[in-house]
Structure 1
Amino acid sequence: MVATLASPPTTSIHLPDLIQYPASGVYSRILARDAVCRSSLFCLTAGTEIDKHTAPHNATIHIVEGAGKLTFQNEARFLEAGRFITVPAQIPYAIKALSNMTFVLTHSVNI
């Protein structure tokens, strides 16, 4: 017996239309989700930090606009628009927005 996943409907989103920065902190919303992944938009105001944490699933981070810093495995990486980062499951990481910064975070089930 072969298991198959039902394909979700096609979604087309123009990300710049969804960007909104709060007075401080983080704005987030789910863009798409199914049985194997979830993609969310995060808008961080300058200076906002997402403290070091881990996730049970692999993650990808795609920077849409702005600049920031990602710290994982005791290494800091500069983030700017167009940057695409992969973070394996269970690896602690933190993010700091150096300017207003928007990114798409996708968590996926380990395959």
Structure 2
Amino acid sequence: MTKEELKTRTKKFAIATFKFLNEIEKNKAVDIISYQLFKSSSSVAANYRAVCRGKSDADFLNKLKVVDEEADESLFWLEFIKDLNIDCNKIELEKLIKEADELVAIFSAGIKTIKSRNK
């Protein structure tokens, strides 16, 4: 997958998450979860753009670690919504969980590859 394809994919993930959150159950507790998920999912897309502008392997690696952490946090919040059985579109929730899990795998693999090259 090219950098441009991954930029598009991370942006689509953020947009899909935003749309999902607009339809989710509303109350104080869920609003806090929604806010955290929106921040982490949009951070995946925004910070991946910064990765693509990395000035060195070390800079690239550090920025990629942030993206990996944010993708994993997004996955956590999505799983949390599922575990709490919050009223939402369950089909869309499963799609987002799958996508977050795949993004974590992609970024984690990228981090391993860069680390092995720099040994």
Tell me which protein shows more helix as a share of its residues. 2
TM over 0.5: no
Shorter chain as denominator, the TM-score bin is under 0.3
State the TM-score, normalizing by the size of structure 2.
Answer: 0.23
